[in-house]
Every structure is written in structure tokens, then in C-alpha cells.
Structure 1
Amino acid sequence: MRKHYIDNIRTLGILLLFPFHTCRIFNSFETFYVVGKPNSICDTFILLTCEWFMPLLFTIAGISASIALSKRSTKQFIKERFFKLLIPFIFGVILTVPIQTFFAEKQHNGYAGSYLEQYTLFFTKITDLSGYKGGLTPAHLWFLLFLFIISLMALPLILGCNKFNINISDKQFSLYTILPLFIFNFILSVFEIGGQSFGKYLSFYLLGYFILSTNNAIKLLENKRLLLTTLGVLFSVIRIGIFNIIYYQNASFTVTFLSSAFNHLTTWVIILAILGLGKHYLDFTNNILNYFAKASFPIYFFHQTLLVAIGYYILNVVNNSLMQFSIIMLLTFIASVITYEIMRQFHITRFMFGIKK
């Protein structure tokens, strides 16, 4: 039976990216492809969400993989990952990401050349891979590449557990056994690729597959949803305070280490709370939710490229920051849905961007 709350949490996670990436245009502590006047409200929103929403998507991916592998063969699963993740990643880096760096070059470097000239620059200018000021980057599509690699890396472990009949679906969980699992994320987080913690995302995928896909774990989270939500809110407030101390002062190694551990605990608690709340309040569907359950992945694919392009022009023609934020976010959402509707009409674009018919 389809788990509608998983679809709905994924959809809400994708939709969260519209205010999040719009806030990135106006944040004060890290640059972006296009930048506006820094805003403390945007800073706060980013700090409240940045640590957990991508781990949430990898956790959901792990849960979804558990469902998929119960219905598909290993070969079918690999084929699906190839066409849904790797192929869109390749076409995205070639066709859509250079649009973002074109506006980044114009914003940060005063670039006055043509888009085609910048297209050559995109593949030859090697920087830190963020691409915020131009140069080669996977941009937000790093998520597709990481998820593809993680999906394949996790398969031997999954198949090995199946071969030796290692099954924890009947295990009874409590908060005393499930909360300490954040240590798994904390330890693996040291493995980074291109500035992203590959090990952390791998750990969330595995925890999603082996633990959070089980009925007993989800039942626990649903029963403890209010406690977990309270802890998540409290820990988030404390985390912002710790960030301000570390960011603006020279913190010792011990303080930084303990802060990192607390960040991982907070992220884990928030994810558990969201799953518990989702199971209790979002385990249903309707026409709108069903539409976005299918559209959320392509919308994720297109949204940031559209946001950067729209943001560049809105920042130049609108002066009020609140109006800039509102118009950029709204137009990006509308443009993303329209782009999805157009691209899903043609077989070739469905293939290129991983869109289901």
C-alpha cells in the first residue's frame, strides 16, 4: 500500500526550497548566484532549515527505496535510478546549470559577453564547485548525483542483509534506542565531497531504509510526535545561539566539536518529528497532492535555474526588499510548474529530465 505521508513530506520538502533559495539571495553569511540586500529574517529562516531539509530528502529517499525494492528486482531498481537520477543530472549540467552561472558572472564579475561565450567559460573555469561566482558547478543538481551514487553503494549492504535474513522490521523501538542513532550521522559526516557531507547523506539514506521504513519505528514517532516536535523547536533555538557564538567568535576545538554533535542531534530529532507529524496528519491524498507527488522531482530540477534568472532581473527593477522576495518566490514557483507542464508533453524532454509520463 502506498504511503501517502511519504509523498506529502517529500512534496513539502521540495516546496520549502522556494522560500529557502529565495532567502539565499538575501542572506548575509554566504554569497549566492545573485545577491540582494542582506536581511536578518532570511538569515534566521536559513539557519532554522538548512541543517535538516536535505537530510530529510535523503531519509525519504531511503524509505522510498525500501518500498521500491519490495516491488522491483535489483536490475529494475538500478535501471530506474539510472534514468531518473543520472540521465537528468547529465542533461541538467549541460543545459540548465550554465544559465545560473551566466547570471552569476554578470552579477559578481561584471560579465558582458554572450551566453554562448559564457557556456565555454562554464566548462573551463574551475573554482570551488559552488559556482556562486561563475565556473563549473553541478549547482543544486549535486543532490541527484549523490543520491544515484548512494543508491548504488547501499545496494550490496541491502542485498547482503536480505541474503542472510537480517530483518529488523519486527524490532520494538523506543526513544532511548532511536535517538542515539544520530551518532551514526555524526561519525560519517566527516566524509565530504565538493563541500557536501557525502557520508552524512549516506547515513540518512541507510537509516531511512533500515529503520524509518519499519512500521514499529513510524508508530513510535507518531505516538511521540508532540515530544519530538517540542525538542526539535527547543534544539533549533539553541542551535541558532550556538551558531552566533561560533560564527562571530573564535571557538575552541572542543566547543566546535560539541556544537557539531549537537547539530546532528537536532537534525535527527527534527526529521523524526516531521515523520511522526506526517504519519499522523498527512497520510492522505487528493488531486492537488497527487499532482505534486508526481511533479515535485521535476520542479526541484528546474526551480533554482528559474529562480536565479528571475531574481537577477527583479533585483534590478524592484527596489523594495519585501516586494523583491515575494515576486521572485511567486514567479519562480509559477514558472517551475509551467516548465514542468511543458516538458512532460514530449518524450525527449521526459527522458532528458526524468519525468514520468
Structure 2
Amino acid sequence: MEQAALNQQPSSLPSTAAGSERYDFLDWLRVIAILVLLFYHTGMIFVGWGWHVMNEQRIDALVAPMDISHRLRMPLLFVIAGAGMWFALQRRTGAQLFRERTVRLLLPLVIGMFVIVPPQVFYERLFQDRWQGGFLQFLWERTLQLRPYPEGDFSWHHLWFIAYLYVYVPLLLPLMIWWRRSARKLQAGAWMYTLALPLAINEAVLKPLFPETHNLVRDWYIFNHYLLLTVYGYLLASMPGVWQWFAMRRHQFAIGGVSVYLVAMWLFAQGVIHRSTPADAFVGNVFTWLWLMAFLGYGYRHLSFCNPLLRWARDASYPIYILHQTLIVAIGYYVVQTSWSPWTKYWGVLLATLVSCVLLYQLIVRRFGFTRFVFGMKRGRATDAPSAMASERGSAAV
């Protein structure tokens, strides 16, 4: 009965011809998630969680939305990246995919560690009164010593996402190729709710032993967490009718996600459950997975279209991701020293970062073959032609 419903796509969903479906909604979701990162990383200056530069006065109103977005923003990006790998393997061999990801992930990562990230560490050390000289001197005397952060000054900082995603490619490629060739295909159904459980078990068991560090070698909780989500994205993209299944149940996922959050907050307030416990891991990952399914459902239902904004944003989003945190830290370093109110500082840093990212992308990154190459873009100039699949432009990369 349920499978028959999946095979008969409701008229309220975007209509597509067999074999020609475009997944623009995945591009929209990726662009939105990266935009949320700008809000999130700007907020890190003002919530007192310990960051590269921090404002003396906190903005307590940011804590709850940032806590929620922390559970959702990166998981969504990894799920989309996993889906992108499925789409890419429909048109490439495994060797071709690995070569492409090496160019689009590893190259921007390495260049970013020597060019994009060092200003972040420089301003952080200035803020901490651990450096008094200029940037070029810092680059020569500190960065190029290649001593790993935080003891040293060489790091990938926010580019950890690119590093992890690149490591996942060779790790998962044999399994992905086997699954692509296999006649077995999963069907969407109620069993998909249980995908929250491996995430919860991983967090409950490994987070106390390996707290989040993003250093790759001692980060098993986070490494496995996003590895699972990348696999989930790949499997979802391989499942016939899965996006329609999400779309038809999008409201119940959202209601479930809100309910889990409200009940969890009440239980925390009553002291029934506590942070960083197995119970916290369970409710947190149920919340995450319900909302990821909701996002995919709402995205498919309402964002299955392409327009000039999306065509621009899907090319721009990866370079903007690479650039954004360095600009936030640099601008934030100067803004926190002003006498402005905390909210004025927040919006000032955010808007200045957004404008700077767009200008750098428009005036430099997209205009030259070399800069397009080092930022993981196609070497040719951007076109206005819509992509056939979300993965073929940027979803597979970020």
C-alpha cells in the first residue's frame, strides 16, 4: 500500500519526467546551510563558548538558536555531500570521482591552510596577547613552523569539513561502487526513523572518550558521526521515491522535531536528564534526524526549482564557505574593541562579512581561471545554464 503511494507522485509535488529529474532543492538547502554558518560563526563571538575572538558582553538570546543550529547545519551539509557522491558516480568511474574530489577538496584545503586560515590564527594570537608583530612576520616565524594548533599556529580551522569529506571519499569509495552495482535497493519506509540510533550510540559511547577536536586523528566521535551522515546521504539518493516520501511526511517530521526539543528542554530543566549523557545523545540525535528528514521533505516540496539566484549561489557558496570565517575573525577583532552595543557589533560583523565575501567572489574568485581552480570551482567561466543534478556543481564538494 505504502509503496503504491510512493509510485504515484502526488500532484502537489514537483512534477518531473522519468530519468530527467533535477535536484535543485539540494543545492538550495546547501546554500541555506552555508548562509546559516555565517550567522553561527558570527554568533560565536558573542556567546562565551570560547572562540578565536570574543566580545566582552554576551548576547544570551543567541545561545538557544545557536545550540539548535549546531545540531543541524553540518549534518545537513554532510548528508547533501553524500547524496552528491551517488549522483556523481552515475556519470563517473570511481577513479574519476577520486581525481575530481582531489582537485575540488584537497587542493583548496592545502592552499587554505597556508593562505586563508593563517590570518585567523594571527588575529587570535593578537587578541590573546600572544603576538605583537605584523602578519608577514607571524606567517614566517609561526605559521611556517608547521606546529599543529592549538599549541602551534598551523591549522585548518573551519576547513576541517573539507578535510573530513576528502578522507571519506577513498574510505567509502569501494562500498559506494559496490552499492551502485548491486541489484539491491532500499525502499523508503518507517524503518528510516531508526537511522537516529547509530548516531546516538556513536555519540553516547565515543564522545566522552574523544571530545570534539576536528584534528582528525583523535576525533573519533565527530569523524564517525559525519561519516554516518555521509553514508546516509548516499543511501538516500540511491532509494527510489525517497524525496517524495520525505515530502509527504514533512509536517510530521517537523512536529516531531519540535516536540522532542520541547520535551528535552523540560527534562533538562527538571534535572531528569543531563548534558553529555547517553540520554542527551539519544534525544539530541533523534532531534537532528527528524529535522534533517523535515528539511529534505520541505526542500523537495518547495525548493525544486532553479532561478538566476540559485545559479549564482551554487557556484559562489563553496568559495564563500572557504572565505567566511577568516573574514569574521578579522572583522570581529576590530569590532569587539569598539564601544558599540553587542547587537550592533553582531550585525556589523555579519553584514561586513557577507558583503566582503560577495565582493571577493565577484571581483576576484570567479573571474580568473587560477582563482577558480584553487577555490575548487570549474576552470571555465560560470554559465547561467542550470545543472542537471545538484551534485554536478557543488553539492558533492560542500
After TM superposition, the structure 1 = structure 2 runs for residues 271-282 of structure 1, keeping only pairs within 5 Å, are 271-282=292-303
Q: 1:158 to 1:233 in 2, by over 3 A?
A: same
Higher relative contact order (CA 8 A, sep 6+): 2
Report the equivalent of 1:44: 64
Q: CA deviation at 1:167?
A: 2.5
Q: CA deviation at 1:225?
A: 0.5
Match among 289, 294, 315 for residue 315 of structure 2: 294
More displaced 10-residue stretch of structure 1: 206-215 or 12-21:
206-215
For structure 1, list consecutive stretches of 5 or more residues without a partner in the other structure: none
Letter in 1 for 2:94: T
Report the equivalent of 2:77: 57
Match among 103, 110, 114 for residue 123 of structure 2: 103
Q: CA deviation at 1:144?
A: 0.3
Report the equivalent of 1:216: 241
- Tell me, in whole angstroms, the C-alpha distance in 1 between the residues paired with 2:303 and 2:101: 26
The one-character-per-residue Cα deviations of 1:126-150 (angstroms, maximum 9, x if unpaired) are: 56x4x5x973321100000100111
Q: 1:42 to 1:331 in 2, by over 3 A?
A: same
Q: CA deviation at 1:164?
A: 4.0
Q: CA deviation at 1:162?
A: 3.4
Q: CA deviation at 1:163?
A: 4.0
- Tell me, in whole angstroms, the C-alpha distance in 1 between the residues paired with 2:120 and 2:347: 20
Q: CA deviation at 1:318?
A: 4.5
Letter in 2 for 1:265: V
Q: CA deviation at 1:2?
A: 2.5
Secondary structure of the residue aligned to 2:350 is: helix
TM-score (norm 1): 0.89
Secondary structure of the residue aligned to 1:137 is: coil
Q: CA deviation at 1:38?
A: 1.4
- Tell me, in whole angstroms, the C-alpha distance in 2 between the residues paired with 1:150 and 1:346: 30
Match among 292, 295, 313 for residue 334 of structure 2: 313
Report the equivalent of 1:136: 154
Match among 150, 166, 183 for residue 197 of structure 2: 183
- Tell me, in whole angstroms, the C-alpha distance in 2 between the residues paired with 1:27 and 1:244: 20
Larger helix fraction of residues: 1
Let me know the Cα RMSD of the aligned residues: 2.4
Letter in 1 for 2:372: R
Q: Does 1:345 align with 2:370?
A: no
- Tell me, in whole angstroms, the C-alpha distance in 2 between the residues paired with 1:257 and 1:212: 30
Q: 1:221 to 1:163 in 2, by over 3 A?
A: closer
More displaced 10-residue stretch of structure 1: 191-200 or 155-164:
191-200
Match among 134, 137, 144 for residue 114 of structure 1: 134
Report the equivalent of 1:148: 166
Q: CA deviation at 1:348?
A: 1.9
Secondary structure of the residue aligned to 1:211 is: helix
Q: 1:292 to 1:213 in 2, by over 3 A?
A: farther
- Tell me, in whole angstroms, the C-alpha distance in 1 between the residues paired with 2:156 and 2:108: 12
The one-character-per-residue Cα deviations of 1:156-186 (angstroms, maximum 9, x if unpaired) are: 1112223443322xx2x22x31111112223
- Tell me, in whole angstroms, the C-alpha distance in 2 between the residues paired with 1:309 and 1:35: 12
Q: Does 1:203 align with 2:231?
A: no
Q: CA deviation at 1:44?
A: 1.4
CA contact (8 A) 2:58 2:342 kept: no
TM-score (norm 2): 0.81
Letter in 2 for 1:343: V
**Aligned residue pairs, count:** 345
- Tell me, in whole angstroms, the C-alpha distance in 2 between the residues paired with 1:98 and 1:242: 43
Secondary structure of the residue aligned to 1:91 is: helix
Q: CA deviation at 1:285?
A: 1.3
CA contact (8 A) 2:25 2:299 kept: yes
- Tell me, in whole angstroms, the C-alpha distance in 1 between the residues paired with 2:332 and 2:31: 23
- Tell me, in whole angstroms, the C-alpha distance in 2 between the residues paired with 1:243 and 1:106: 38
More displaced 10-residue stretch of structure 1: 50-59 or 152-161:
152-161
Report the equivalent of 1:31: 50
Secondary structure of the residue aligned to 1:207 is: helix
Report the equivalent of 1:78: 98
- Tell me, in whole angstroms, the C-alpha distance in 1 between the residues paired with 2:238 and 2:339: 47
Q: 1:214 to 1:116 in 2, by over 3 A?
A: same
- Tell me, in whole angstroms, the C-alpha distance in 1 between the residues paired with 2:30 and 2:133: 39
- Tell me, in whole angstroms, the C-alpha distance in 1 between the residues paired with 2:268 and 2:168: 29
Q: 1:227 to 1:146 in 2, by over 3 A?
A: same
Match among 376, 391, 394 for residue 354 of structure 1: 376
Q: 1:125 to 1:331 in 2, by over 3 A?
A: same
Letter in 2 for 1:35: M
CA contact (8 A) 1:102 1:134 kept: no
The one-character-per-residue Cα deviations of 1:25-70 (angstroms, maximum 9, x if unpaired) are: 1012x21111012111121121111012101100000111111111
